[in-house]
Amino acid sequence: MAQEVRGVIAPGKDEAVRVETIVVPDPGPGEAVVRVQACGVCHTDLHYKQGGISDDFPFLLGHEAAGVVESVGDGVTDVAPGDFVILNWRAVCGNCRACLRGRPWYCFATHNAGQKMTLAATGQELSPALGIGAFAEKTLVAAGQCTKVDPSVAPAVAGLLGCGVMAGIGAAINTGNVGRGDSVAVIGCGGVGDAAVAGSHLAGAAKIIAVDIDDRKLEKARSMGATHTINSRETDPVEAIRELTGGFGADVVIEAVGRPETYKQAFYARDLAGTVVLVGVPTPEMKLELPLLDVFGRGGALKSSWYGDCLPSRDFPMLIDLHLQGRLDLAAFVTETIELTDVEKAFERMHQGDVLRSVVVF
Ligand code: APR
Ligand code: ZN
Ligand code: ZN
């Protein structure tokens, strides 16, 4: 039986979001209905609301979520009703060239449940944000978007791995291959950058240099494991990073802002044979000009990181276990828990840089 629940809708470009009654159908073959327990507020939700990602309004927002599987459709064997799961953007196929080469987020055949949920009042189809739509009491997803994890973790903490925190930790441990004794610089210490700091700390990096233009962010980064901090409004970060690394530059530089000047800093702040990991997403008009001789002369690797190059089935349970063992403080990313009706206000706080994550709990 289709069910009616409350969900946060972005009705049109730049319009305030609002809570509406939505219809969630029964799961079809390969699908699951999840009772959402917590969902974080991410910049991408704001970008959807602003029309920056697609014109497919109305959107059902929310995509950093954890909850309990309520029902599954035919052919679903990996999850069952009652399982505690973290949701991911799309089920990856596991078989294409990208999956087989260990880059599942470049998979050619990802899928989600599509646009099957509707607005109760008008019957209009809803576009779920990142194929999830979890600012809702229940949501319909592909079963492959659900990963079982230890149910003793708080849902507000677990859900964070569904997006920003996984992107940052994965940028360090998967894309950057940060290892014991490495020096790492993280440029931009919002939620994603701080997660890259925490991931580098987890991986055993000896030096973790946090760079930001806001001293509040640098202080927070220190609590996440940064050993040095640089305010790049006051100090040239490239010179400071070189100075802190014996004149060489960092083994791994992680860029988590998404702007030309910080891309350039990342490029020049690495050791000649080091790795640059780009996590910050630029806008289409941004350009970077570099002398070709520098591109040629500075070997190493320039990599972008999608969703932290994570494999949810491998990484979600592992990171939750590390959190439960006290070795990775995922709870530090939750600034506040809020009601479903407070998402619009949470966007404002995010815009002011006051929060790492506001999380809706149900
Ligand atoms: N130099 C250094 N830090 C900067 C600069 C700059 N020029 N400009 C902004 N910052 C800092 C901000 O002060 C903030 O702490 O970058 C941080 C950005 O953090 P958030 O706005 O919280 O964004 P976050 O969610 O962490 O995402 C960062 O990663 O995945 C991508 O799309 C995401 O592009 C975004 C980036
Ligand atoms: Zn694939
Ligand atoms: Zn997100």
Q: CB 261: neighbour CB atoms within 10 A?
A: 12
Q: Coil, strand, or helix at residue 97?
A: helix
pLDDT at 353 (0 to 100): 83
pLDDT greater than 90 at residue 194: yes
* Ligand 2 centroid from CA 88, angstroms: 15
The pLDDT, as a whole number, for residue 1 is: 84
Write the CA distances from 76 to 90, 110, 118, integer angstroms.
Answer: 16, 17, 23
Whether 186 lines ligand 1, by a CB cut-off of 6 Å, is no
Separation of CA 256 and ligand 1 centre (Å): 6
The CB of 269 under 6 Å from ligand 1? The reply is: no
Per-residue pLDDT at 328? 96
Q: Model confidence at 285, in pLDDT bands (50, 70, 90)? A: very high
User: Nearest ligand to the C-alpha of residue 134?
Assistant: 3
Specify the pLDDT at position 166. Answer: 97
The pTM of the whole model exceeds 0.80: yes
Is 155's C-beta closer than 6 angstroms to any atom of ligand 1?
Answer: no
Amino acid at 46: L
- Which residue is closest in CA terms to ligand 1's atom 23? 190
pLDDT in tens, 90-117: 998 888 999 888 888 888 888 999 999 9
Confidence of residue 351 (pLDDT cuts 50, 70, 90): confident
Decide whether any atom of ligand 1 lies within 6 Å of the 167 Cβ.
yes
Sign of the four-CA dihedral 222, 225, 228, 229: negative
Distance (angstroms) between ligand 3 centre and the Cα of 273 equals 31
Cis check for the bond before 58: say yes or no (omega within 30 of 0).
yes
| Per-residue pLDDT at 333 exceeds 90 | yes
Ligand 3 is a single-atom ion; what residues have CB below 5 A from it?
A: 42, 44, 163
Please report the pLDDT score of residue 250 as a whole number: 98
Q: CA-to-CA distance for 215 and 154, rounded, in angstroms?
A: 30
CA angle, 302 then 303 then 305, to 5°: 155
pLDDT score of 125: 98
pLDDT at 108: 84
Flag the least confident range among 23-32, 231-240, 263-272, 348-357. 348-357
So what's the pLDDT on residue 332?
A: 96
SS3 235: coil
Look up residue 234 and give its DSSP letter.
T
Whose alpha carbon is nearest atom 2 of ligand 1? 212
Q: Name the closest ligand to CA 192.
A: 1
Distance 148 CA to ligand 3 centre (A): 19
78: left (phi over 0), alpha (psi -120 to 50) or beta: alpha
Q: Ligand 2 mean position to 107 CA, how many Å?
A: 4
**Dist CA 67 CA 147 (whole Å):** 10
